[in-house]
Amino acid sequence: MSHPLAQGRYQTPLRYPGAKTGLSSLIGNLIESAKNSSQIRKVDLLVEPFAGGASTSLRLVGSGIVNRILLADADPLVAAFWQVAASDTENFIDRMTEEHGRHVSLGGSTALDRWDYWRAWTPNPGMGEATARFETAVKCLFLNRTTFSGILHGSAGPIGGRKQESQYGIGCRFNIEPLSERIRYVGHLYDTNRLVDVWCKDWKDTLADVPEWHADLIPDQVVAYLDPPYIEKSEKLYQRSFYSQAGYPPSPVDDLNWSDHFPHYRLAEYLRNRMQFRWVLSYDAKPQLLSSPWLYAGDRMTPSMTEKETLGVKEWRISKRLVSLRYTASARQGRGAADELLVTTLPPATVPQNSDFRPIGDMSAGSDG
């Protein structure tokens, strides 16, 4: 790609809690290695069902490791942001610039009043769907750039606190020029069909719908990259999103509460038994992920005969590696290095095993406990 941000250090307009420095390049290395196999010559489409800040997808499509990306997120704020940034780019930039000039740049009580406004805002029942989506996107960006660690939900407050006595005020992360460049990059990807679509769907609907829309690429030219909430997560990061039955989206999303382990088991069961294309999964390195047969203790997918015959699900081998990352938000104790678990059905012979992609061993001895 010739776009100046394609190889840039920062590409996503969103700050995301729990962002993992270095993971995008590791996922890229993993997929690039897989393209040397006889099964996978190219990856035409990368699907990211927990899109969030989408830094991995943007990095991999910009570098040419994958040809195209599809983003999806169950959180209507996040999905609306990517939809509007992609398809209504310049109007969105104009609105962002207006919000900054009228409120954020003034700081103090004016900016805090606007922060309170957006925190409480929900779509008006009489608002059209397109307008509701646009305003939802504005809410997402405003709160993401003015809230501690970019946290959209829960108890996080404005950057600088209510008294704004910190040297870092509420507008310190709301930088118009770089944000405009990154949003235009998203629009460029959409205009050139590198970003093929953005869905407001949960992970299960996303993974089930991809084969219907891209049947010609199944199974070996599509890879899903999944980065679900931590198995032991902070409630302040991932509380249930707002929704409005009358506004955007048309119906509420009900899978955003990961406060118990049941959603993790549902995801694992789907990936092990019903997934129709290759996948890469990243998690915080917790021993129960590899000790439980209901999670990822097995070394092979185990679809039933019905799933093999009706869905074409393969019995792919499952590879597991540990990688070391630096976390950039308050999701961890401090901002040091921590182990991350990678689980994948990419061809086993291509999955690296070296100082970057370490064998599992005893995960309880890792830096993350």
Q: In the numeric block, which tokens belong to residue 265? A: 């088991």
Cα separations (Å) of 15 from 25, 36, 81, 308, 331? 18, 34, 13, 40, 13
Dist. CA 294–CA 288, nearest whole Å: 10
Q: What is the pLDDT of residue 156?
A: 87
User: What DSSP assignment string belongs to 42-94?
Assistant: ---EEEESS-TT-HHHHHHHHHTSSSEEEEE-SSHHHHHHHHHHHHSHHHHHH
- The DSSP symbol for 230 reads P
Beta-strand relationship, 68-72 and 278-284: unpaired
**Cis ω on the peptide bond leading into residue 348 (within 30° of 0)?**
no
**Cβ–Cβ under 8 Å, residues 53 and 16:** yes
**Average pLDDT along the chain:** 88
CA–CA–CA angle 175, 177, 183 (5° rounding): 95
| Spatial contact of 258 and 284, defined as CB atoms under 8 Å apart | no
Q: Which residues of 149-176 are buried (b: 16+ CB within 10 A; e: fewer)?
A: bbbbbeebebbbeeebeeeebbbebbeb
| Per-position DSSP letters for 114-178, written without gaps between them | HHHHHHH----TTS-HHHHHHHHHHHHHHHHHHBGGG--STT--BTTTTTT-SSS-TTTT--HHH
3-state helix, strand, coil in the chain (%, to 5): 40, 15, 45
Confidence of residue 369 (pLDDT cuts 50, 70, 90): very low
pLDDT one-digit tens code per residue, 127-179: 899 999 999 999 999 999 999 988 888 788 999 999 888 888 999 999 999 99
The predicted-structure confidence for 2-50, as pLDDT tens digits, reads as follows 788 988 888 999 997 666 768 999 999 999 999 989 999 899 999 999 9
Amino acid letter for position 292: S
124 vs 148: CA distance, rounded Å: 27
Amino acid at 65: I
Could you report the per-residue pLDDT of 192-251, keeping only the tens digit for each? 999 999 999 999 999 999 999 999 999 999 999 999 988 775 444 544 444 444 455 545
Domains of the chain: 20-81+185-365 (3.40.50.150), 95-179 (no CATH)
- Residue 298 burial by CB count (10 A; 0-12/13-18/19+): exposed, middle or buried? middle
pLDDT tens figures, 75-97: 999 999 999 999 999 999 999 99
Q: What is the pTM of this model?
A: 0.90
One-letter amino acid at 265 equals Y
> 196 near 45, Cβ under 8 Å?
yes
